[in-house]
Amino acid sequence: MPNSRINTLLPSTAHYIRLALGRGEIADHSQRRYARIARGIFTGLAGRGVAVLVSFFSVPLTVRYLGAERYGAWVTIGTAMAWVALADLGLSSSLTNAVSEGYARENDGLAGDYVAAAFWSLIAVAALLMALFFPVWRIVSWDRVFNVQSPQARAEVGPTVAVAFTIFVLSLPVSIVTKIYGAYQEVSTANMWSAAGNALSLAALIAVTRQHGGLVRLVVAVSGSVLLVNVISAIWLFGYSKPWLVPRLRRVTLSAIRKLTSVGGMFFVVQMAALILFQTDNLIIAHYLGAAAVTPYSVTWRLFNYTMIFQVLASPSYWPAYAEAFARGDRAWVCRSFRMNFSLTLGSAFLLTLPLIFFGRWIIRAWAGSAAVPSFDLLLCMGIWSLIYGATISQSCVLASAGRLKGQMVYSISAAVTNLVLSILLVQKLGLTGVIVGTIGAYVTCVIVPQSLEVERTIRA
């Protein structure tokens, strides 16, 4: 292939790095998107570096401070709280596409209507959740739900669930702030706020562990710090950065709510299926093997999540860029950018996965202690899963940005049901390894092939 053709297909990395750093003039929408994607990845790398440091210090601190059972309970509560995010009914995800449409059309009023509709809808959802949850919370034996045995863990787990639920629900309305930054392709700003939240969370964690504050205070310190930073970010966004987006109640329109909920409903189903697919593992392990068994599985899962670092950094920038490009009819840019993103994601995941398979036990023992050390079989299966997921996660970004979610709903639901059945069956026969084998089997049989075909149809339509 001639060099001119290569230069046409693949953007000059050095050129867009210079543009991302503010050096040079941006000539068109394509260059602007690449420059903002590069800036988002750079700041995401810095922000992720802070998150890695937080994780690096927090895991050994919490495992050794809480012990295997209480740490397992904490992780399991966090997993359960991830289900609370479903209560946004997909509104925050649909907001990314809606505001990106307003941005592409240079229509600030349209974007503001969508923001107001999403914000006040989430306020109503949060109020309803609080009213429904606490009467139920009072009658549930939470120590039995999380299968904890020690007196200290049994005394703490109920109040911890209540506090964690409250913080997550209060976070729902301000969750739209990150989506707004993304829709305006200002992921670098969102990354800086995220880094600040992670840093404050680590400081609060260290303070609580030194003062022996207990599990409840640990949740307040870690989750409450992130909520506080998100609230400050929202004040800055609506008060100074983009005051035309202030979510005034009078700006809520039925048409905006209808559009957000129609797309949001599909996001909701996909997110629900994804939670069943990815977040039931700890609950299944806690039920069948005990809360202490969650520790090696969750620590290993967290370690292998770092193998998808490129896509984690790139997706928040690619999604709104794809959405804007689709709104402008620029499918050629989407196709070119997806190919590049897919190759980088798969290549980086492979390079990071291989050493973790062979040296993961030593790394985890030094990092989190002997209570968190997994078997080699679990490491190998986690490595296989990382490659499979890394190969397809960038595809979901394209489909989400295009609003092509009907197919994803079918793939995700079938994979979720298959995963749940396989994991329950295999955990009783293979132990911890059986759970990740169930996830791999579900994803391979239900997602990879149909999703790949749909992505090709989407970018070539």
- DSSP codes of every residue in 255-322: HHHHHHHHHHHHHHHHHHHHHHHHHSHHHHHHHHH-GGGHHHHHHHHHHHHGGGHHHHHHHHHHHHHH
Task: Classify burial at 362, counting beta carbons within 10 Å of its beta carbon; exposed 0-12, middle 13-18, buried 19 or more.
Answer: exposed
Assigned domain for 6 exists: no
Taking a C-beta distance cutoff of 8 angstroms, is the pair 48, 309 a contact?
yes
Give the residue among 12, 246, 6 at the shortest CA–CA distance from 119.
246
Instruction: Give residue 418's pLDDT band: very low, low, confident or very high (50, 70, 90).
Output: very high
pLDDT tens digits for range 105-151: 777 788 888 899 989 989 988 898 889 888 888 888 877 877 777 88
Assigned domain for 1 exists: no
Separation CA 192–CA 194 (nearest Å)? 5
Give the residue among 276, 167, 280 at the shortest CA–CA distance from 217.
167
Instruction: Give residue 28's pLDDT band: very low, low, confident or very high (50, 70, 90).
Output: low
Letter string b/e over residues 13-29, b meaning 16 or more CB atoms within 10 A of that residue's CB: eebbbebbeeeeeeeee
Structurally, how many domains does the chain consist of?
A: 1
Q: Is residue 459's pLDDT more than 60?
A: yes
Assigned domain for 253 exists: yes
Instruction: Supply the pLDDT for residue 42.
Output: 64
Q: Which whole-number Å values give the CA distances from 124 to 82, 88, 120, 169, in the listed order?
A: 19, 10, 6, 11
CA R_g for the chain: 22
Instruction: Supply the pLDDT for residue 393.
Output: 81
- DSSP codes of every residue in 103-118: HHTT-HHHHHHHHHHH
> Residue 195, CB half-sphere, CA atoms under 13 Å: how many?
17
DSSP symbol at 440: H
Separation CA 198–CA 52 (nearest Å)? 9
Instruction: Pick from 167-171, 287-291, 363-367, 425-429 the range whose average pLDDT is largest.
Output: 425-429
Instruction: Give residue 62's pLDDT band: very low, low, confident or very high (50, 70, 90).
Output: confident
Angle at 273 between CA 96 and CA 403, to 5 degrees: 30
CB atoms within 10 A of CB 449: 11
Instruction: Supply the pLDDT for residue 402.
Output: 81
Instruction: Give residue 210's pLDDT band: very low, low, confident or very high (50, 70, 90).
Output: confident
Give the residue among 224, 234, 225 at the shortest CA–CA distance from 118.
234
Taking a C-beta distance cutoff of 8 angstroms, is the pair 95, 114 a contact?
yes
Instruction: Supply the pLDDT for residue 2.
Output: 41
The residue segments making up the domain with residue 145 are: 11-460
How large is the average pLDDT for residues 347-373?
A: 89
Instruction: Supply the pLDDT for residue 77.
Output: 77
Instruction: Supply the pLDDT for residue 34.
Output: 67
Task: Classify burial at 270, counting beta carbons within 10 Å of its beta carbon; exposed 0-12, middle 13-18, buried 19 or more.
Answer: buried
Separation CA 179–CA 185 (nearest Å)? 10
Separation CA 38–CA 180 (nearest Å)? 18
Separation CA 194–CA 190 (nearest Å)? 6
Task: Classify burial at 98, counting beta carbons within 10 Å of its beta carbon; exposed 0-12, middle 13-18, buried 19 or more.
Answer: buried
Assigned domain for 3 exists: no
Q: Which distant-in-sequence residues (6+ apart) come within 8 Å of 169 by Cβ?
A: 84, 87, 126, 129, 130, 133
Higher local confidence (pLDDT), 312 or 326: 326
Q: Supply 74's token pair.
A: 């904490």
pTM confidence score: 0.64
Q: Which distant-in-sequence residues (6+ apart) come within 8 Å of 402 by Cβ?
A: 322, 323, 326, 458
Assigned domain for 130 exists: yes
How large is the average pLDDT for residues 370-385?
A: 91
Separation CA 4–CA 213 (nearest Å)? 63
Assigned domain for 2 exists: no
Assigned domain for 200 exists: yes
